[in-house]
Amino acid sequence: MEYTVKSGSPEKQRIGCVVAGVYLSRKLSPSAKILDKASGGLISNLVRRGELEGDLGGTLLLHNVENTLCDRVLLIGCGKEKDINTKNFREINKVLASTLNASGATEVTSYLTELPVKGKDLSWKIQQSIEAIDEKLYKFNQLKSDQKPPRRPLRKIVFSVSGRGQLADGEEAVRKGMAISTGILLAKDLANLPGNICTPTYLARQAQNMQKQYPKTKVSVKGEKEIEALGMGAFMSVSKGSRQEGKLITIEYKGGEKSQKPIVLVGKGVTFDSGGISLKPGASMDDMKYDMCGASSVLGALSACAEMQLPLNIVGIVPAVENMPDGIASKPGDIVTSMSGTTIEILNTDAEGRLILCDALSYAEKFKPDVVIDIATLTGACIVALGAHPAGVMGNHNPLVQDLIKAGKTSGDRCWELPLWDDYQEQLDSNFADVANIGGKGAGTITAGCFLSRFTKKYHWAHLDIAGVAWKSGHNKGATGRPVSLLVQYIVDQLPKS
C-alpha cells in the first residue's frame, strides 16, 4: 500500500474516492459538510432520510456526486463525536479499508484525520490509520496454491492535512507509520508460518537478512556447541530434545553514540512447543507454532527502528529452540545449571520458555544495557488473568514498567501491571536445587516472572507476558503482531527531547 499526505478541499480531489465521517444523530463532519454544500444538500438529505444514522461502522457509498471531482464519496459512521477513542478510531479506518478494497476504488483521499480523538494529534492519527488499514487488509496466503487478490485492490491512500504547514509533519508520520506497520507485518508473517518451515535456523536466516537490509545492524548466530560452551545448561535442556538445532540469535542496531547504553529486547523463540515429556493435550496443539511470537516481535520492532533510523542503540536477543519429547529430552525431576550458575529443578518440561529466557537474560549482561525487556508467550495463566486485551507486565524497576504502560496507552497496544512481590518467590522453592521451574497452581504468571527476576539483578528489567495477545485462535486464527507497536512506541519515547 502506498501512503501519502495532501492538503485541499474534499470536493476538489480528483481521485477514485473521498472518505468523510458522520457522527451519531446524523451530524456531519467538517469535510462532509463541505461535500454536502457542493452537492446542493445531497448528503444532508440522504442522512435526514435515514440512509446513515452515524452509528460506529455504518457506511454509505455514493457515486458521481454532483459538483465534486471524485468518482465516489464514502461516508462512515463514527459514533458519538466526543466518544472517539483509540479503539473506535482504528475501527473506523478498518471499515474504510474493507469497504473500499471491495469497491473497485484503487486510490482514496481520507478526511478521517479530522476526527477528534482526545489528546491525540495529526501524527498519531496518521500512524494509527496506517496500522489499522494494513491490519484489516492483511492476509497470510503465501502457502496457498490458489491466490486470488481483489480484481482492483486498494493501492493508494492520501491522508488529508489542514494546510501546507502540516505537510512535513504528515509526511514524517507516514514514514513512521509505515515502518511500524511493516514491522508488525513481519512479526505476523513469521508467527503464521508453520513449525516445519519456521525453525530456529529459519529465524536465524531472517535476522541475517536484516543485516543485509540495514547497514547499522550487526547479526550473530550461535549454534549449540557455542551455546553449551557459554554454560547455558537451561537453554540446552530444552534444545537437546529436538533434532532442530537451537540457535542464539543476536541483532545489534547501532544508531546512537558508541558510549550510549543499549535498550535490550529478549524474545522467546520456541518455534514449536509440544510440551516435551510433559506433553500438551493434542487439541489445538497446532497453535503452539505461535510460541515464538516474542521472537517475532523483537525482529519486527528492530526492523521498524532500523527503518526509521532512530539515533539509539538497540540489541535484540532471540533464544530459538523447539520443545520436543525426544529420547534425550529433559525429564520432570531433572536438574540443570544455568549460565548464571543457578541450579534449576525441572518439575514440568512445558515450562520451557523461562529456561531459555533465563540464560538469554544472563547473556544480556554483556551488553551493559540501559534496560532489558523480555517478551514471551510465557503462561496460559496470563490469559486466565487478563484475557486477550492487555499483555501482562512486571519488573524490578517501576519507572520502566510505567514507561511501558504509558507506551501501551499511546500506541493502543496495552499492558497491565501484575505484582512481582517477594511473597510469591517461596512458591519456587526446591528441595533439591536452587529453584524450581514452576510454582504450583496459584499465580502462574507472577511466579514465572519471579523465576526470571532471579536472573536480572544486575540491570533494570521488565517482562511482558503476551500469551493472551500474540495470536487469535478459532476460525479466524492468526498472529496479531503484538506487541511490536508497544515496543516501538516505548523506544521512540526514549529519544532525547529536543
**Active site amino acids:** 280, 354
Query: What residues are paired with 158 via a beta bridge?
Result: 4, 109
Closest among 149, 170, 210, 212 to 1, alpha carbons compared: 149
Which residue bears the cell 514507561? 403
C-alpha–C-alpha distance, residues 42 and 10, integer Å:
15
From its phi and psi, is residue 354 left (phi > 0), alpha (psi between -120 and 50) or beta?
A: alpha
Q: Is-contact 16 59, C-beta < 8 A?
A: no
Axis crossing angle, helix 484-493 with helix 398-411, rounded to the nearest 10:
120
- As a whole number of angstroms, the distance between CA 452 and CA 434 comes to 13
Residue type at 433 in one-letter notation? A
The distance from CA 456 to its chain's CA centroid, rounded to whole angstroms, is 24
Q: Exposed (0-12), middle (13-18) or buried (19+): which is 220, by Cβ within 10 Å?
A: middle
CB 407 within 8 A of CB 486: yes
| All three cell numbers of 285 | 496443539
User: For residue 7, what are the β-bridge partners?
Assistant: 161
What beta strand segments (E) does 70-127 contain?
Answer: 72-77, 107-110
For residues 411 and 483, give the distance between their C-alpha atoms in angstroms, rounded to a whole number: 10
Omega before residue 319 within 30° of 0, cis: no
Determine the Cα–Cα distance for residues 472 and 476; give it in Å rounded to an integer. 7
List, in sequence order, every residue forming a beta bridge with 73; answer none if it has no partner.
18, 62
